[in-house]
Amino acid sequence: MDVLPPHLIVEILSRLNDPTDLVCCRLASKTLNSLSYEVRRISLLCSRNRYMKSRAPETRTLITPFKTIINNFIRSSRLLDSVTIGVFERSLVEMYDENELEGEFDDLYLTDERFIGEWLPFVCRRLRSLSISDFWSQSCWRRSETLSVISSHCHVLQELKLKNAWLSVDGLKPMLMLTCLTLEFIRLDDEDLNKINDCFPSLQVLNLVSVGGLKEPKIRLLHLKTCQWAVSNVPFSLTILAPNLVTLKLKCVRPKSLIIQAPLLSFLHLSLIDAGVFDVKDFPSIRVFKLESLNLSRLIVKFPFGKTVEHLTVNMPPSTKISRPLYFYSLFDIFPNLSSLALGPGAWSELELWYCREGLEGRVGMKGLKEIKAHLVVYDIEATLSCIFSLLDLCTNLVKVTLLIHRHVDSNTSSKLKLRCTGDYPKIRWKWGFWKEESRDIWGLLL
Amino acid sequence: MSSKKITLKSSDGETLEVEVAIAVQSQTIKHMIEDDCADGGIPLPNVTSKILAKVIEYCKKHVENSKKEDSIEEEDELKEWECNFLQVDQQILCDLIHAANYLNIKSLLDLTCRRVADMIKGKTPEEIRRTFNIKNDFTPEEEEEVRRENKWALE
pLDDT at position A99 is: 62
Q: Which burial class, exposed, middle or buried, applies to A5 when counting CB atoms under 10 A from its CB (0-12, 13-18, 19+)?
A: exposed
Closest C-alpha to A270, from A314, A304, A311, A331: A314
Strand order in the sheet with A257-261: A218-220, A237-241, A257-261, A277-280
pLDDT at position B81 is: 93
Assign A281 a pLDDT band (cuts: 50, 70, 90).
confident
From chain B, pick out residues whose CB is under 8 angstroms from the CB of A28.
125, 128-129, 134, 136
pTM summary value: 0.87
- Give bridge partners of residue A239 from the DSSP assignment: A218, A259
Cβ of A27 within 8 Å of Cβ of B121? The answer is: no
Least confident of A116-130, A352-366, B6-20, B22-36: A352-366
Is it the case that residue A95 has pLDDT exceeding 70? no
**Helix ranges (DSSP H) in A57-212:** 66-76, 92-96, 113-123, 136-139, 146-153, 194-199
Chain B residue closest in CA terms to A64:
B152
Closest C-alpha to B29, from B8, B4, B3, B50: B8
- Sequence length of chain B is 155
pLDDT at position A442 is: 33
**How high does pLDDT run on average in chain A?**
89
Cβ of A19 within 8 Å of Cβ of B153? The answer is: yes
pLDDT in tens, A194-250: 999 999 999 999 999 999 999 999 999 999 999 999 998 888 899 999 999 999 999
Assign A361 a pLDDT band (cuts: 50, 70, 90).
confident
The DSSP result for B42-87, as a single string, is EE-TT--HHHHHHHHHHHHHHHHHHTSPP-HHHHHHHHHHHHHHT-
CA distance B84 to B94: 16
- Sequence length of chain A is 447
When pLDDT is averaged across residues A172-177 and rounded to a whole number, the result is 97
Whether chain B has a CB inside 8 Å of the CB on A68: the answer is yes
Chain B residue closest in CA terms to A68:
B152
Chain B residue closest in CA terms to A18:
B121
B15 min Cα distance to partner chain A (Å) = 26
Closest C-alpha to A14, from A28, A32, A29: A32
What percentage of chain A carries pLDDT values higher than 70?
Answer: 93
Chain B residue closest in CA terms to A34:
B146
Relative to beta strand A277-280, strand A267-272 is unpaired
Is it the case that residue A297 has pLDDT exceeding 70? yes
Question: Which residues of B lie inside 8 Å of A (Cβ-Cβ)?
Answer: 72-73, 94, 97-98, 101, 109-110, 113-114, 116-117, 120-125, 128-129, 132-138, 142-143, 146-147, 150-155
- Reduced to 3 states (helix: H, G, I; strand: E, B; else coil), residue A41 is strand
